[in-house]
Copies of this chain bind each other. A is one copy, B any other.
Amino acid sequence: MCFMERGYSATSIDDVARRLGATKGRIYHHYPSKADLFADVFRTGMQFSFSSVEPLSKGPERAIERWKKMARAHATGMIRTRAFQRVVWEGVELHLKGATTPEQRDSLGRLIAHRERYARLFRTTIEEARRDGDMQFSLTGIAEELMFSALNSPVFWYSPRAGETDSDIKELVDQIVSFALRGLGGKEGSKNE
């Protein structure tokens, strides 16, 4: 499950197999094609985010408070499972560019749809927060993109330091979420915890 660092086409099945201490035969015994293997990693990566964020989106608090929790969970997940998230990212890219085969197309299609539902969790929340007067931005679509670009960004630039503690990561996440929150015109007021 680890061809998450070279990219889809740059990674051969043999690479993956070697990494697993196995051979190609094993992989093709479990997955019908390379695309299916990729889709499985994609799905797994998304599942991390979904299962940690979705419950938070249904809390009883004010929208902005829910958003803060969701954003923290999302960003933390991006850091903790960044290898998977790179695959997810590339999957989205592949879909936008137009995946090669038709089967691959709709396999990716369903995953993208799932991702869409995930994004909607955030979109409805920030729209609600805006109605509450707790955020201000003009076009929702753009605000959403900018928000995700910030929350997702550690996938690309974060790399673990030696002897890094959980509170180090917490600090990172703080700064990320704070950036996004202020970007969305959020009142940072009250307290951040």
The SS class assigned to the A binding surface is: helix
A185 CA to B153 CA, complexed, in Å: 18
Question: Are the C-beta atoms of B150 and A5 separated by less than 8 Å?
Answer: no
What B residues does A142 contact at CB under 8 A? 172, 175-176
Total copies of this chain within the assembly: 2
* B175 with A138: CB separation less than 8 A: yes
A138, A180, A182: most-surrounded residue (chain B CB, <10 A) = A182
Query: A97 — which chain B residues lie within 8 A by C-beta?
Result: 5-7, 10
Provide the bound-state CA to CA distance between A157 and B89, in Å. 13
Q: Which residues of B lie under 8 Å from residue A9 when comparing CB positions?
A: 7, 9-10
Q: In the complex where A182-B183, A183-B182, A183-B183 touch, is A176 in contact with B7 (Cβ < 8 A)?
A: no
B residues near A156, Cβ cutoff 8 Å:
93, 149
A179 close to B (CB within 8 Å): yes
Find A175's partner among B5, B139, B179 (CB 8 Å cutoff): B139
The CA of A7 and the CA of B98, in the complex, are separated in Å by: 11
Identify the A interface with B (CB < 8 A): 5-7, 9-10, 93, 97, 137-139, 142-143, 145-146, 149-150, 152-154, 156-157, 172, 175-176, 179-180, 182-185
Q: Could you name 26 residue pairs across A and B whose Cβ atoms are closer than 8 Å?
A: A6-B97, A7-B93, A7-B97, A9-B9, A9-B10, A10-B97, A93-B156, A137-B175, A138-B175, A142-B172, A142-B176, A143-B179, A145-B154, A145-B157, A146-B150, A146-B153, A146-B175, A146-B176, A146-B179, A149-B152, A149-B153, A150-B183, A179-B183, A179-B184, A180-B183, A183-B183
